Amino acid sequence: MSEYRKPLPVIDEHSAPFWKAARERQLKLPKCTSCGALRTHFEPWCAECGAEGFEWVPLSGRGKVWSFCNFHKAYFAGFKDELPYNVAVVELDEGPHLYTNVVGIEYAKMHIGMPVTVHFDDVTPEVTLVKFKPA
């Protein structure tokens, strides 16, 4: 694996289960044990009801493109050789939205509502990024 030059996520006690699941090729999010809301933030409280109890649950890994754009500027040097690249919001079948990249497709062929499935990208020995590809 060559040196990874793009920004990496900050993994802390709250987000570690998400990144561990990604390394194991699973997509998991915290689910509130009080109201059942799934969330994409990794704080100990629920944004819906304020409760602090949650459990990490596996998700299907399926969804659809909710929004997307193409970046033509390298805001970080590690992206300069990949310009332009897409940034998308995927609405998971279970409801939450994730910011991500869609791989394996030309930008001109992407569209709102396009079905996608999770793709795990091992970028370092410690970090696997969650991306999506056309379903």
Domain that holds residue 32: 9-58
CA distance 34 to 127: 31
Q: Which residue has the tokens 């970080």?
A: 76
Summarize pLDDT for 7-52 with one digit per residue, the tens. 999 999 999 999 999 999 999 999 999 999 999 999 989 999 999 9
Q: Would residue 4 count as lying in a domain? A: no
Largest CA distance in the chain: 46
Summarize pLDDT for 56-88 with one digit per residue, the tens. 999 999 999 999 999 999 999 999 999 999 999
Task: State the burial class of residue 99 (Cβ atoms within 10 Å of its Cβ: 0-12, 13-18, 19+).
Answer: exposed
Q: Would residue 23 count as lying in a domain? A: yes
Between the alpha carbon of residue 74 and those of residues 66, 85, 109, 122, 128, the distances in Å are 23, 9, 22, 21, 22
Q: Would residue 78 count as lying in a domain? A: yes
Which of 58, 75, 99 is the C-terminal boundary of a domain?
58
What's residue 1's pLDDT? 55
User: Based on the domain organization, do 111 and 125 belong to the same domain?
Assistant: yes
User: Based on the domain organization, do 33 and 82 belong to the same domain?
Assistant: no
User: Based on the domain organization, do 109 and 49 belong to the same domain?
Assistant: no
Cis peptide before 84 (omega within 30 of 0): yes
User: Based on the domain organization, do 65 and 120 belong to the same domain?
Assistant: yes
**Residues 6+ away with beta carbon under 8 Å from 120:** 22, 25, 128, 129, 130, 131
Summarize pLDDT for 103-133 with one digit per residue, the tens. 999 999 999 999 999 999 999 999 999 999 9
